[in-house]
Amino acid sequence: MVFTVLICDDELLERQVVSLIIKDSNLPLKVVGEAKNGFEAVEQSRKLKPDIVFMDIKMPGKDGLTAAAEIKKFHPDSKTVFVTAYDEFEYAKKALKVGAAEFLLKPVRPDEITVLLKRIINVLNKEREKKLKEEELLNSIKEAESTLKSGIMASMLMGNIEDEEVLKSQAKLLGIEKLPSSIIVVLPDVNKDSPNAELYRYEVFRYIQKMFLKDENVFLFLMSEEVVLGVPSCSSPLLVADNIRKKIKENLDITVTVGVGQGENIDMNVLFQEAQLAAKLGKFFVGSNKVISNDILSDFLGDISEYRIDKENTLLKYVKMGDYEKALELMEEILNDISDFGKGSLLFCQVRISELMVMICRTARQVGLVEPQDAHFYSAHLKKLGRCKTYAALKLCFKAFLEDVFLKKNKLSSEELILQAMQYIEDNYNKDLKLWKLAKKAYISPDYFSRLFKKVAGCTYAEYITKVRIENAKILLKNPAISVAEVAKRIGYSNPNYFSRVFKKMVGAPPSEYKTL
């Protein structure tokens, strides 16, 4: 790698000397230009973009400090070496303010310049390596842009966002200024059982992809039966949706029905469900080749959420409590409501049940019924749901989903459940017994487990563990061969001093004294 040098000095001899020293240094440097004043220095730098600039401070017209400050504005990566015959501190301070790499006093010895240049070359090489790595990374990101955007979109649609700032950072790497605030679902008006259905869907996807090829802020996502777009707030989603519908009708041999989910400060997962519901139910109730939002759909169906709020909240409460039987019983009522409200539409039931499955799965994940890495296990159930041809099949599918959420559903009574937990503590008192771990084994939430434990055991979970440990400590302390520290370790206390304080509080005497009784 050869680095370029510009020499700026009002004395011809000084320029020649520095140029000769550079040529004789055998360093990877090339003098590409000279300037005899600050004006020429700025002009030459703008033209040649030198890596290193040797700049005399005192020059006629525009001085070196002023010229260097201007050069730094349009060529910030250049390294400036100030050379002057004036040994004054003020010059050094000014030189540092405009980003001087080095500051040398005339007359400068050749070996000084050579040593200085080696340092600067080392810095430039490191900066170039860093820049190359960043460029390679950005190129890799650009190549994987569609995959990364799909991942961001999928996280937003599924409500699987741990930190929105992380998503914003990922979007920024792709040159995306704003995350989507509205969702558009494009559903091709084709029979899904048609042999060309998949081909038509992909054709629609490719056409929409070309429409928004240069718009970095539009997210495009191809799902099984629909094309999903995320658009920023600066766009009118209804106008964008209608433009898509018109363009596809004009240029492809098919039509599409478009659902729109929009609203301020609403979760993307909710907007996605609204857009998906509007597209699927809109085609059934309103007609195909239209743009439909929930507002439009409400004119035909009334408030599409009115039947479910109270009962669904109760159902989610049962999920949090781990009460499978009550959840199953309430599920039957909700399914009947969905069927009645959907006026017998199997499609309406499928969409509504799919929404409910998403909410249940999210709640189950929050209370530990479902592991975070298994949060999307319901996708298999969604596929089964889409293949159901009868209402009875829908009920069976939803029931299987609930069973899967609760895993091995607990058939024990509340008392039996806590008695088993108490026995587990007695058998494993010397281990790290976290309440949430036992609650997870019982498939109920930690809060509910804690309340249930106190009701059955008559004391808190922590108090019971302490009681069991201290009783076992009493037995071990009677053995003269076992020290107090060893007893603490055997019953699950890593800190002997803490064990002693707990023992004295429970028994009335420290373990060392109890040992001699």
Q: Confidence class of residue 410 from pLDDT cuts 50, 70 and 90?
A: very low
Domain final residue, candidates 354, 387, 406: 406
| 10 compared with 324, residue with greater pLDDT | 10
CB 452 within 8 A of CB 418: yes
**Any domain includes 304:** no
Given a cut of 90, whether residue 46 has pLDDT beyond it is yes
Q: Confidence class of residue 218 from pLDDT cuts 50, 70 and 90?
A: confident
Domain ranges, residue 344 = 309-406
**pLDDT tens for each residue of 429-482:** 888 888 877 776 665 667 777 888 888 888 998 899 999 999 999 888 888 888
Entry pTM:
0.38
Domain identity same for 171 and 280: yes
- As beta bridge partners, residue 187 has 257
Q: Which of 29, 76, 78 is nearest to 52 (CA)?
A: 78
- Percent of the chain past pLDDT 70, that is, above it, reads 77
User: What is the largest distance, in Å, between two alpha-carbon atoms of the chain?
Assistant: 102
Domain identity same for 286 and 150: yes
| 269 compared with 112, residue with greater pLDDT | 112
Mean predicted lDDT score pLDDT of the chain:
79
Given a cut of 80, whether residue 12 has pLDDT beyond it is yes
Q: What does the pLDDT read at residue 326?
A: 82
Query: What phi and psi, each to the nearest 5 degrees, are found at residue 160?
Result: -100, 60
Read off the amino acid at residue 115: V
- As beta bridge partners, residue 102 has 81
Give the relative orientation of helices 164-173 and 145-157 as an angle to the nearest 10 degrees: 160
Query: What phi and psi, each to the nearest 5 degrees, are found at residue 452?
Result: -65, -40
Given a cut of 90, whether residue 360 has pLDDT beyond it is no
**Helix, strand or coil for residue 188?**
strand
Q: What does the pLDDT read at residue 411?
A: 44
Q: What does the pLDDT read at residue 300?
A: 54
**Any domain includes 420:** yes
CB 15 within 8 A of CB 3: no
- Percent of the chain past pLDDT 90, that is, above it, reads 13
Give the number of other CB atoms < 10 A from CB of residue 259: 31
Q: What does the pLDDT read at residue 409?
A: 41
Query: What phi and psi, each to the nearest 5 degrees, are found at residue 236?
Result: -85, 110
Domain identity same for 288 and 339: no
Given a cut of 80, whether residue 93 has pLDDT beyond it is no
The CA distances from residue 203 to 230, 254, 319, 414, in Å, are 19, 10, 42, 56
Given a cut of 60, whether residue 373 has pLDDT beyond it is no
**For residue 278, what is the domain's CATH number?**
3.30.70.270
**Any domain includes 37:** yes
Token representation of residue 406: 């609760």
H helices present in 3-109, as ranges: 12-24, 38-48, 64-74, 89-97
Domain identity same for 136 and 165: no
**pLDDT tens for each residue of 309-333:** 678 888 888 887 777 778 888 888 8
Among 12-16, 80-84, 98-102, the least confident range: 98-102
- As beta bridge partners, residue 2 has none
CB 174 within 8 A of CB 141: yes
Given a cut of 50, whether residue 16 has pLDDT beyond it is yes
Domain identity same for 60 and 83: yes
Q: Confidence class of residue 408 from pLDDT cuts 50, 70 and 90?
A: very low
CB 466 within 8 A of CB 406: no
The residue with tokens 């040159």 is 175
Domain identity same for 447 and 421: yes
Domain identity same for 14 and 131: yes
Domain identity same for 428 and 383: no
DSSP-assigned letter for residue 373:
G
Q: What does the pLDDT read at residue 304?
A: 45
Q: For residues 106 and 112, what is the distance between their CA atoms, to the nearest angstrom? A: 11
Q: Confidence class of residue 142 from pLDDT cuts 50, 70 and 90?
A: low
**Helix, strand or coil for residue 294?**
helix
CB 22 within 8 A of CB 5: yes
Q: Confidence class of residue 245 from pLDDT cuts 50, 70 and 90?
A: very high
**For residue 77, what is the domain's CATH number?**
3.40.50.2300
**pLDDT tens for each residue of 183-215:** 889 988 887 667 777 888 888 888 998 888 877
Mean pLDDT, to the nearest integer, of 118-145?
75
Domain final residue, candidates 371, 406, 441: 406
Among 11-20, 120-129, 261-270, 394-403, the least confident range: 261-270
Q: For residues 171 and 145, what is the distance between their CA atoms, to the nearest angstrom? A: 10
**Any domain includes 372:** yes
Domain final residue, candidates 140, 169, 202: 140
Q: For residues 247 and 207, what is the distance between their CA atoms, to the nearest angstrom? A: 9
Q: What does the pLDDT read at residue 43?
A: 94
